[in-house]
Structure 1
Amino acid sequence: MRILHTSDWHLGRSLYNHKRYDEFANFLDWLADTIEDREIDVLLVAGDIFDTGMPSNRAQKLYYQFLNKASQKGCKHIVITGGNHDSPTFLNAPKILLEALNIHVIGSVSDNLEDEIIVLNDEQNQPKLIICAVPYLRDKDIRTVEVGESLNDKNQNMIDGIKAHYEAVYAIAKQKQLSFVDNVPIIAMGHLFATGGKVSDDGGVRELYVGSLARITEDCFPKGIDYVALGHLHIPQKVGKREHIRYSGSPIAMGYGEASQQKQVIEIQFIKKQLVINELPVPCFQPLLRIKGSLSHILAEVKLLKQKSSDAWLEIEYSGTEVVGDLQEQLNEAIAYSLLKIIRIRNQQIVSKALTQMVENETLAQLNETEVFMRCLDSFNVPYEQREMLLTSYQEIIHSLSHEDHQAE
């Protein structure tokens, strides 16, 4: 079987309030064509299909249109697991209907771990692949709260919970493997944060658990697994330099920090029981460019892009020494009659000037929830030695709220 590993589509995501539906549609069309051209039998999508738990109608339409197209293009099986951005309830809602098309959706952990084991058969109805379709493991899925536990205890309990879950699921898969005549490969899926994983500065990757806790290592996955298809980190990478444990990365740049990355999907085959991996580059469907410097430098770069008929979306950061009050007007004039689009302008001189006058007029809208909490600690003169535990407890509350399944009854 030819297998394709992808993740982190984040359908519906905007870039500074600019919609990107055309970009998502172009990627999904390319992916469907790749499935046909490469004769892909199995597509694995390791979480974060949507950017929010309540995706727009247009994002949903892209999703269902793609599933239909991929099936028509010859993809025999599609396995989708939920990520931390996804609503398990929303993903699971059409589960029974999609199974009729050999589309398997595992939105959340089930009481019966057998539900996470998917055996894929060939045209002769012979087993060819076993999938441990593990979705994003929420805090409540992997540990119980213990009175008086330290941060180290909490961290270890989370890691132990993740490891125990994979061991339990793998044990079921191994039993099935032993019952088959042929040595059927076992693939595990996951959506989690690996120790040492590379992230971009503005890719929008949220910590899955609290703070920096529960970053897993390659040892969390049983050694008998032939390939681990991971999602969550947007940069394609291996875990612990293990060839068979990989993040496919996001297929399009989620922010300007990812703009220079070569995006990819990963093709997997087992030829004579040997794992063969092929990294397939994903085309760039919407160029993103960040231009930083003096006004003369920025204008020169814009002029060069116009000459090349570029259609890039630009993030402009003015870092010159002089205050330029009409920066936006000059930039709008510079891109006139071109395909260029300015998405964001950062005027460092104006910002610096404003910051010196900001404290007295500061509003809640200008602060995130962690900054508000830290201001409260300052205002009540909370000793620094107590702040780590208080901040962690506060982050747990925020984490719980942000990961609540709002689609559930």
Structure 2
Amino acid sequence: MKILHTSDWHIGSTLYGRKRYDETEQFLQWLINTIENHSIETLLVAGDVFDISTPSNTAQELYYRFLNEVSRTNCRHVIVTAGNHDSPSFLDAPKALLKAFNVHVVGSAAEKGGFEVLVLKDGDNNPELIVCAVPFLRDRDVRQSSEGESYQDKENRLVEGIISHYQNVYEEACRERSDLGKSLPIVGMGHLFTAGSSIYKRAGETSGERDLYVGNLGQVPADRLPSFDYFALGHLHIPQKVAGNEVIRYSGSPMAMNFDEIHQQKSVVLVDIDDQHVDVQTIPVPAFRQFKQIKGDWNSIENTINKLKEESFTGWVEVIYEGQEAIGNLRERVYKLVENTSIEVLKIQNAMLFNAVMKQYEKEVELQDLNPADVFDQCLIDHGVSDDQKVVLKGLFSEVCRQISEADNQKE
């Protein structure tokens, strides 16, 4: 069977206020063509289908139109699991209808692992593959609270709960395979953070995937997860093997979610699998929009923009001024340079000003340049909180952030 693994579409996402529906639509059409060109039989979408839990009508239209078009190809099965950005109840709502089109949706974690075990059948109704379709596991899905437990206790309980859930689902899949009496491959799906995996960061801020966990909270050791024949992961935006293992992979996001990701080669994963052999290769995803990140002093920025104008560059640009000279009208200078061109500057950041704000709050800075953890850390410093208290307060703050991110606005 030929399987295509993808994740983290984030349909409806924005970049500094600009909607990205056109890029998403182009990617989804490219994905249809890839499914046809490579004779894909099963498509795995490992979470974060949408960017927010209440997707717009346009985002929903792109999603359902894609599923309709897939049903017209030779792809026999589509399996969609929820990520931390998705509303489990929203994804689950049409699952009975979508199942008629061989689209299997698992939005919510099941109390019994068997509900996440899918036996896929070929055109002659013979079992051909077992998939353990595990959605993003929220704290409430896997951890029992205990009075007086420490921050470290909570972390340990969360990780152990995630591991236990996957093990239960895998054992159920093995029992299912035994009952069928066939040597079927078992594929796992997950949306989680495995320990040691890469998150791309720019100095001083978090980039790419919005961190759901702070510090080590929620990082699961890969060697404690079941030995699936292939493990299709989502959540991290960088395509990568986990612990060097060819068959445990993050497909990564198909589009650069911010300017720090623009130099990454985005991809989907093609898996050719049978009961004896697994062959894995990546398929590069083309960039559907031009991006440029410009850093340096004023002369460097000016020269780079002039070069882009000569090249008739059409796309989105981020400008980060790193010079030592104080420039009070940086924004006006940049906009003047790109006037009457096809260059669209989405963000201008004065690094010298930004650093001054982070240290002394002497100047104003746009809120979008800060994330909640940055602001909270600075508040702790400003109020002279002791190091011991900082550890506790940061743990509590991460709990609050996680609970907010886990809120399912679609659930009644």
In structure 1, C-alpha distance between the alignment counterparts of 2:142 and 2:247, rounded to whole Å: 24
Match of 2:294 among 291, 304, 308: 291
- Equivalence for 1:39: 39
Q: How does 1:93-112 map to 2 (within 5 A)?
A: 93-112=93-112
- Equivalence for 1:160: 160
SS in 2 for 1:72: coil
Residue identity in the other structure for 1:15: L
More displaced 10-residue stretch of structure 1: 368-377 or 24-33: 368-377
SS in 2 for 1:187: strand
Aligned residues: 408
More displaced 10-residue stretch of structure 1: 162-171 or 196-205: 196-205
* Kept after mapping to 2: 8 A contact 1:192/1:208: no
| Distance change in 2, residues 1:184/1:361 (3 Å) | closer
Q: CA deviation at 1:383?
A: 3.6
| Distance change in 2, residues 1:367/1:278 (3 Å) | closer
- Equivalence for 2:254: 251
Q: Deviations over 1:113-161 (max 9, x none)?
A: 2210111111111111100000000011111112232333322222211
In structure 1, C-alpha distance between the alignment counterparts of 2:381 and 2:327, rounded to whole Å: 36
Residue identity in the other structure for 2:12: G
Residue identity in the other structure for 1:14: T
- Equivalence for 1:309: 312
Q: CA deviation at 1:328?
A: 2.9
Q: Deviations over 1:49-102 (max 9, x none)?
A: 011101111111111111111111222110000000000011111111111100
Q: CA deviation at 1:196?
A: 1.2
Q: Taking structure 1 as the reference length, what is the TM-score of the superposition?
A: 0.92
* Kept after mapping to 2: 8 A contact 1:295/1:320: yes
- Equivalence for 1:17: 17
Match of 2:211 among 207, 213, 217: 207
- Equivalence for 1:50: 50
* Kept after mapping to 2: 8 A contact 1:53/1:407: yes
In structure 1, C-alpha distance between the alignment counterparts of 2:191 and 2:383, rounded to whole Å: 39
Q: CA deviation at 1:247?
A: 0.3
Match of 2:232 among 229, 254, 258: 229
More displaced 10-residue stretch of structure 1: 107-116 or 344-353: 344-353
Q: CA deviation at 1:367?
A: 6.9
Residue identity in the other structure for 1:305: L
In structure 2, C-alpha distance between the alignment counterparts of 1:406 and 1:301, rounded to whole Å: 44
Q: CA deviation at 1:360?
A: 9.4
Q: CA deviation at 1:381?
A: 5.2
In structure 1, C-alpha distance between the alignment counterparts of 2:9 and 2:126, rounded to whole Å: 32
In structure 1, C-alpha distance between the alignment counterparts of 2:93 and 2:120, rounded to whole Å: 22
Q: Deviations over 1:151-181 (max 9, x none)?
A: 3332222221111111110111001112234
* Kept after mapping to 2: 8 A contact 1:291/1:316: yes
- Equivalence for 1:78: 78
Structure 2 residue runs without a partner (length 5+): none
Residue identity in the other structure for 1:222: P
Q: Deviations over 1:343-377 (max 9, x none)?
A: 11113355567778845989999976545655665
Matched, 1:321 2:327: no
| Distance change in 2, residues 1:331/1:208 (3 Å) | closer
Q: CA deviation at 1:271?
A: 4.9
In structure 1, C-alpha distance between the alignment counterparts of 2:375 and 2:198, rounded to whole Å: 28
Q: How does 1:186-201 map to 2 (within 5 A)?
A: 186-201=186-201
In structure 2, C-alpha distance between the alignment counterparts of 1:320 and 1:364, rounded to whole Å: 22
In structure 1, C-alpha distance between the alignment counterparts of 2:396 and 2:333, rounded to whole Å: 48
In structure 1, C-alpha distance between the alignment counterparts of 2:388 and 2:334, rounded to whole Å: 49
Residue identity in the other structure for 1:185: P
In structure 2, C-alpha distance between the alignment counterparts of 1:166 and 1:350, rounded to whole Å: 47
Q: Taking structure 2 as the reference length, what is the TM-score of the superposition?
A: 0.92
Q: How does 1:171-186 map to 2 (within 5 A)?
A: 171-186=171-186
In structure 1, C-alpha distance between the alignment counterparts of 2:325 and 2:231, rounded to whole Å: 52
Q: CA deviation at 1:289?
A: 1.1
- Equivalence for 1:395: 398
* Kept after mapping to 2: 8 A contact 1:189/1:229: yes
SS in 1 for 2:219: coil
Identity across matched positions, percent: 44
Q: Let me know the Cα RMSD of the aligned residues.
A: 2.4
In structure 1, C-alpha distance between the alignment counterparts of 2:382 and 2:196, rounded to whole Å: 36
More displaced 10-residue stretch of structure 1: 23-32 or 268-277: 268-277
Match of 2:342 among 339, 344, 353: 339
SS in 2 for 1:111: coil
Q: CA deviation at 1:382?
A: 4.4
- Equivalence for 2:89: 89
Residue identity in the other structure for 2:312: S
* Kept after mapping to 2: 8 A contact 1:131/1:188: yes
In structure 1, C-alpha distance between the alignment counterparts of 2:405 and 2:282, rounded to whole Å: 33
